Amino acid sequence: MKFKYVVYKLTFPNGKIYVGKDIGSTGHSLRYFGSWDNKIVEHDFTKDELKDFSLRKEIIFESEDKWEISQMEGVLIRLLKSNNPAIGYNQTHRHS
């Protein structure tokens, strides 16, 4: 059974992660890779490293319920600490 909505984790070549959700009107899209901040990510890599750049996308939670996906995205961002700049690229749910 294919779930309509997902929370995913992206792993970048430097090991940092980004947690996001895909709740588009047509459901989960294989091509969607989130809304992480390009400038922050680019800062961590050289120009040469950016020429050959691979991301790993893992589906870490699935549901038919958009509200549940939105809740779990926040939970998983905090659990995986992807809101810690040393660990990940999430800008939401950051600790002050």
pLDDT tens digits, residue range 20-68?
999 877 667 666 777 888 899 999 999 999 999 999 999 999 999 999 9
Q: CB–CB of 69/21 below 8 Å?
A: yes
Q: CB–CB of 88/23 below 8 Å?
A: no
Domain ranges of the chain: 5-80
pLDDT tens digits, residue range 55-74?
999 999 999 999 999 999 99
What is the reported pTM? 0.87
